[in-house]
Structure 1
Amino acid sequence: MSAVADSTIMLRRNFKHTVRNPVTVFNAVLFPIVMALMFVYVLGGAFDVGVKYINYVTPGLIVMAISYGLGATATAVNADMTTGVINRFKVMDVSRAAVLAGHVVETTLRALVAVAAIVGVAFAMGFRPDAGFADWLGVAGLVLLLAFAASWITVALGLAAKSAESAGLGTVPLIMLPFLSSAFSPAGKMGAGVKQFAEYQPFTPIIETLRGLLIGTPSTGSAIQAVAWCAGIGLVGYLWALRSFKRRA
């Protein structure tokens, strides 16, 4: 129970930091919205995707909403490690696991807020999914799983970095991967090399699963891949974070 109580305290602490610096959430929400406006109203007519473009692009924007808020978490985790905060927690006998759990839960919840915002904007832009209640539950579950997994790998990156600046830069691949996936155009229409990368990188099956659920035609194959990728990313992040934390704290 002590670990749970400590985790709650750490979560409250991280939320207070976010409230004092709302730019963290603002950036996570603003950039996907800007990308939505640009791709739908400026570039959308250039893509032949077989469906209304806002319906096609929304799953990718959901993933972007998750990835664009990760830099702040990596920086915050690294700051805790390099500014002596962890040493103070050790003196106060705060559970070490609670420090990591607080960052993970806060990052996950912040990602869900960003996803809710981008879905609301998508509806305002004409997004009209064919998903039923069960499909929406699947979307919510996959979004939560992805946010949780991404939070753990981000915490691990923050712990492994030597400075706050390098911690923020460490999340850049997570931010760029949606651009090299099927988020904005089908992977099959990409050039050689890029096509193969897009087809086998983790975000493509996640986006395709979300897309299938939202249009009412989910694919079991892509769903299995998506869940496996999320579970793998989360497990690697968890084990890496624990190892780095034990070594440095």
Structure 2
Amino acid sequence: MTESTKSTVGAAEQASYDHGTFDFPPPVNVWRENSTRALWTHSLIQCKRLLTRWARDPSTMIQALLYPALTLIMFRIVIGNTVTAATGQPAIYGNVPMIILVGAMFGSIVSAVGLRAERKTGLLSRFWTLPVHRASGLVGRMMAEAVRVFVTTLVILAVGFGLGFRMDQGILPSILLLLLPILFGMGFAMMVTALATVSGDAPLVELVSIGCTLLMFFNSGFVPVMAYPTWLQPVVAAQPMSVAVDAMRGLALGGPVLEPVLQTLAWSFGMIAVFIYPAIRGYRHAAATG
């Protein structure tokens, strides 16, 4: 800026001061913290933050992508042909849906452990003091979980395709096959988020991990329901992983679809309905007191 320009600006400012007026910057349109637009924008920012952190965290990447892919290959090598020979149905159509769900669940568990770490370090409290929508933290986390499950589904389907898995029932069944794990994963993520925020230092999340391991070996994707003891078959057939596996198998290979899909939706929405209030209360308490 030249001396003449500075003099002109100074003279204008002095004139405004002499006349009792000031030139303020033009107003900026700011959304209210509790507005819908603020919720959407702030949730996207939180979602991007979590996805970036997960992409840089080796444990999350291993649990969400590498572990499920290697488990699928191991199942195919060790028990795939045995199950196929015993049942007459390709085992890969049960293994792929099962491993997709396993990846969704174990990824959510790692995410819940990370949420607990954010509480201990005070990060949630710092977000709570910012002028952002109060629900954006939890909503953004659920959005990030949906993206993570979708990526896991694509990776496992790609590995399964190399092992003989196909989706030959048309476009709509294929789309529904992609959406079911996302909905199931969001329901499970809501549950572990609630447990992570209300349990304090109690190892509830770790206990859920043990339960998921048991579910992985007691569902219709591991071996057919008829292979389990008679007294255990009703439990195995009705557990959430089994109905989701049956639905995804039917959408890919053909067979009964309506009943297992409705059961999967019931389990998924049921988990969301039961745990959404504890998750909201727990997240708010963790952010306000962390």
Asked if 2 retains the 8 angstrom alpha-carbon contact of 1:158 and 1:167, the reply is yes
Q: Deviations over 1:155-208 (max 9, x none)?
A: 112212323965344344235323211111111220144323212211111110
Q: Give the Cα–Cα distance (whole angstroms) in 2 for the partners of residues 213 and 196 of structure 1.
A: 23
Q: Give the Cα–Cα distance (whole angstroms) in 2 for the partners of residues 211 and 242 of structure 1.
A: 34
User: What TM-score comes out, normalization by structure 1 length?
Assistant: 0.90
Find the counterpart in structure 2 of residue 199 from structure 1.
237
Which amino acid is 2:179 matched to?
A: G
Aligned-residue offset at 1:73: 1.0
Percent of pairs with identical residues: 26
Find the counterpart in structure 1 of residue 15 from structure 2.
none
More displaced, 111-120 or 40-49? 40-49
Which amino acid is 1:223 matched to?
A: V
Q: Deviations over 1:36-84 (max 9, x none)?
A: 2222112223322321222332221221221221222111221222221
Aligned-residue offset at 1:120: 0.3
Query: What secondary structure, in the 3-state scheme, does the structure 2 residue paired with 1:217 have?
Result: coil
CA distance 1:11–1:175, shift in 2 (3 Å): farther
Q: Pairwise CA RMSD of aligned residues?
A: 2.0
Aligned-residue offset at 1:229: 0.8
1:174 paired residue among 190, 204, 212: 212
Report whether the alignment pairs 1:39 with 2:72.
no
CA distance 1:90–1:245, shift in 2 (3 Å): same
Which amino acid is 2:266 matched to?
A: A
Aligned-residue offset at 1:99: 1.0
Q: Give the Cα–Cα distance (whole angstroms) in 1 for the partners of residues 143 and 77 of structure 2.
A: 35
Find the counterpart in structure 1 of residue 133 from structure 2.
95
Find the counterpart in structure 2 of residue 116 from structure 1.
154
In structure 1, runs of 5+ residues without a counterpart are: none
Asked if 2 retains the 8 angstrom alpha-carbon contact of 1:104 and 1:148, the reply is yes
More displaced, 7-16 or 182-191? 7-16
CA distance 1:197–1:89, shift in 2 (3 Å): same
Find the counterpart in structure 1 of residue 62 from structure 2.
26
In structure 2, runs of 5+ residues without a counterpart are: 1-36
Which amino acid is 1:33 matched to?
A: A
CA distance 1:16–1:219, shift in 2 (3 Å): closer
Report whether the alignment pairs 1:6 with 2:53.
no
Query: What secondary structure, in the 3-state scheme, does the structure 2 residue paired with 1:229 have?
Result: helix
CA distance 1:31–1:19, shift in 2 (3 Å): closer
Find the counterpart in structure 1 of residue 264 from structure 2.
226
Larger radius of gyration: 2
Aligned-residue offset at 1:93: 2.8
Give the alignment of 1:50-199 within 5 angstroms: 50-163=88-201, 166-199=204-237
Which amino acid is 2:65 matched to?
A: V
Report whether the alignment pairs 1:209 with 2:247.
yes
Q: Deviations over 1:94-125 (max 9, x none)?
A: 32211111221112211211111111001111
CA distance 1:213–1:14, shift in 2 (3 Å): same
Aligned-residue offset at 1:135: 1.0
CA distance 1:180–1:51, shift in 2 (3 Å): same
User: What TM-score comes out, normalization by structure 2 length?
Assistant: 0.79
CA distance 1:144–1:158, shift in 2 (3 Å): same
Q: Give the Cα–Cα distance (whole angstroms) in 1 for the partners of residues 168 and 102 of structure 2.
A: 22
Query: What secondary structure, in the 3-state scheme, does the structure 1 residue paired with 2:222 have?
Result: coil
More displaced, 227-236 or 27-36? 27-36
* Equivalent residue pairs, number: 249
Asked if 1 retains the 8 angstrom alpha-carbon contact of 2:64 and 2:107, the reply is yes
Which amino acid is 1:134 matched to?
A: L
CA distance 1:161–1:87, shift in 2 (3 Å): same
